[in-house]
Amino acid sequence: MKKKLYNQKDRSQLISELSKESFSRLTCSFYRYVSIESPNSLRDELYKEWIELNVLGRVYIAEEGINAQISVPEPNIDTFIELLNKRDSFTDMPIKYAVKEGQSFIKLVIRVKKEIVAYNIPKDEYNMNQVGIHLNANQFNKALENPEAVVVDMRNYYESEVGHFENAILPDVERSQELLPEVRTLIEHHKHKEILLYCTGGIRCEKASSYLLHHGFNNVKQLKGGIIQYAHDVKKGNIDSKFIGSNFVFDQRLEERITDDVISNCHQCGHPSDSHVDCLNQACHILFIQCESCRVKFDGCCSIECKEFAALPLKEQQVLRKNPKKVVSKTRNSVSGKPRLK
């Protein structure tokens, strides 16, 4: 009988198993734009290999490459890297390690996608063999000293809200599909200037820089390894951090603190806070910023209505969630990937 190549355990069982682990884990990420002939076959092969090493995380594979955010048991990291190196397409893969460790994932999910970054732009508007110049932390800081340079945050609004580089343009978008057209519009009149791009780990800037080069921006540069690598380099090289606040991450940690600055506010009371949470009403689960005082007041929910709904017996919640008129949720009818808390 063929082994099923996906998780079959429920959330409570997964969390229980994690709590009993006696070893440390390393949260890390990597990506590579490389031609993959059979993404589905590769997906199954990687799942078989990685599940044996107790790897957890979220991985996207497409014909254009791989994008992985994972948690690897520390005793297995060398074996994991050896397995990567055995594949010609993944040899010498640059791996970025988390700035702040913590429980990041509870299961392994590997999906085949159309793109490894969901920009949804035509293939004739970029060429991954022509991308922006990579700058390390020192070089990026030096470039920031140029008063004519245009610094662009290639992330969504809820990411840059809690942390960003000084004087950066912060696109007010909710989804990756909206990002490139918006950025192009914002900087269209700066084609002759030096464009400095940055994102979490570098992957979004790779395609974004290629897109901008295609559209006539001829001096495009990008932060190598993104904010994650920048934070490590700043700490290691005793460099001043020009990034202020926290780095939003797409796992259960939600953020990594880069500097002590708190540049955002609680979405409920307005007091300084940069703690992202998901509403504990499982029918809602909206992402928002909540201070400790409001967390206690609202029991981790985004509103009094969600607090009251989440306090109902589970069976009653399940019945009500089947009725659109009775369920309490800020996200149920939203077409947005990350709707805002009104």
Assigned token pair, 218? 């001829």
Number of H helices, E strands in the chain: 11, 14
Q: Is 335 left (phi over 0), alpha (psi -120 to 50) or beta?
A: alpha
CA angle 192, 197, 202 (to 5 degrees): 145
CB 162 within 8 A of CB 244: no
DSSP 62-127: ETTEEEEEEEEEGGGHHHHHHHHHTSGGGTT---EEPSS-S---SSEEEEE-S-SS-----GGG--
CA-to-CA separations, 117 to 60, 67, 221, in angstroms, rounded? 9, 8, 19
**Alpha-carbon dihedral of residues 234, 235, 238, 243, nearest 10 degrees?**
40
What gap in Å lies between CA 311 and CA 53, rounded to an integer? 39
What gap in Å lies between CA 114 and CA 110, rounded to an integer? 13
CB 39 within 8 A of CB 110: no
DSSP 203-236: HHHHHHHHHHHHTT---EEEETTHHHHHHHHHHH
What gap in Å lies between CA 60 and CA 195, rounded to an integer? 28
199 assigned to active site: yes
What gap in Å lies between CA 303 and CA 310, rounded to an integer? 11
Catalytic residue among 199, 279, 294, 301: 199
8 alpha carbon, distance to own chain's centre:
25
Task: Report the catalytic residues.
Answer: 199
